[in-house]
Chain A
Amino acid sequence: MANTATAAGPAQGFTYTRPSGLTGGLLGLSTSGGITSAGPAAHPRFFSGLLTQAAPAAAAMLALADVARTRYFQPRPTGFRDPVVTCNGDRLRMESFSACCGVYARLDVLQPALDGEVHERGTTNVDVNGPLREALARVGGADPLHLAVGADELAVTTLDGAVVEKKVPLPDRWLRGFAEVQVITAGFDPRAETAGPDAVRFLRGLPGGRSGVRGTLWAVPAGRSLRVTSRPVPGAVCLPGPDRLRTMLPLLRFARALRVYGPAVHPGSGPVSSVWELELPGMRYVLSLSPEPSRGFSGEGAVLDALATDEAAGDADLLGALLSFEPRVEPDLLAERSGIGLARVKAALTQLGTSGRVGFDTAEAAFFHRELPYDPSRVSALNPRLRSAHALADGGAVRLTGEGVAVVRSNEQDRHVRIDGDQASCTCQWWIDHRGGRGPCKHVLAARLVQRADRGEGRR
Chain B
Amino acid sequence: MSRFPQGGWLVLVAAFLCVAVIAVAHGAVSIPIGAVLDALRGIGDPTAIAIVRDLRLPRVLLGALVGAGLGSSGAALQGSLRNPLAEPYLLGVSGGAAVGAVIVFALGIKNDALVMLAAFVGSMAAVVLALTVSRVGGRGAKGDLRTLLLAGVIVGAFANATIMVALASADPNTVRGALFWMMGSATDATWRSAAWLAASVAVAGGALVYWAREIDILALGEETAASLGIDAERSGQRIFLIAALLAAATVAAAGLIGFVGLVVPHIARRVGLRAHRPLIVASALIGATLVVAADLAARTVAPPIELPLGAITALLGVPFFLAQLKRAA
A binds B: no
Binding site for A on B (CB under 8 A): none
